[in-house]
Amino acid sequence: MDAGSVSLTTHLGSESVRPYAEDLVQRDGVHPMDAIGDSLAEFQLEGKRIGFESDTYFFSFKAVERLQAKLSNAIWVDADLLVNWCRAVKSDLEIEAMRGAARIASHVMTLACEHIAPG
């Protein structure tokens, strides 16, 4: 899932991007973290430290549980806000997209202010 957009926003080569099937999302009995855990297990992470963020909106307690079940011999460490700091670094393509969105938003607000009236 989202492998296409990853290629536009990362320095990683395509061999390092491992998508998972969309049918793993929002279904009873399966979870995307099972596929991610299987993929990570290939790196032989027994006894290695794995950082995760315990206070994020899109990385649930269930997701952590599923990953920890797949990688039970790893050492799990809370890496609070690490991803947010990494996310702050933008590629040239991301910056250009943000500038384009800002131009559109500015134009829309200008038009709205020109045409707004009571009633």
Name residues whose C-beta falls within 8 Å of residue 67's C-beta, 6 or more positions apart in sequence: 33, 36, 37, 40, 50, 52
Residue 52's H or E segment, with its range, is strand 49-52
Q: 0.95 cut: is pTM over it?
A: no
For CA atoms 33, 86, 75, 46, the dihedral sign is positive
pLDDT of residue 4: 79
Determine which helix (DSSP H) or strand (DSSP E) holds 9, and give its type and residue range.
Answer: helix 3-9
Boundaries of every domain in the chain: 3-88, 90-119
- Write down the pLDDT at residue 73: 96
49-52 and 75-78 beta bridge pairing: parallel
At residue 9, the pLDDT reads 82
**pLDDT 10s digit of each residue in the chain, 119 long?**
577 788 888 888 888 888 888 888 888 888 999 999 999 999 999 999 999 988 888 888 999 999 999 999 999 999 988 888 888 999 999 999 999 999 999 999 999 999 999 98
pLDDT of residue 111: 97
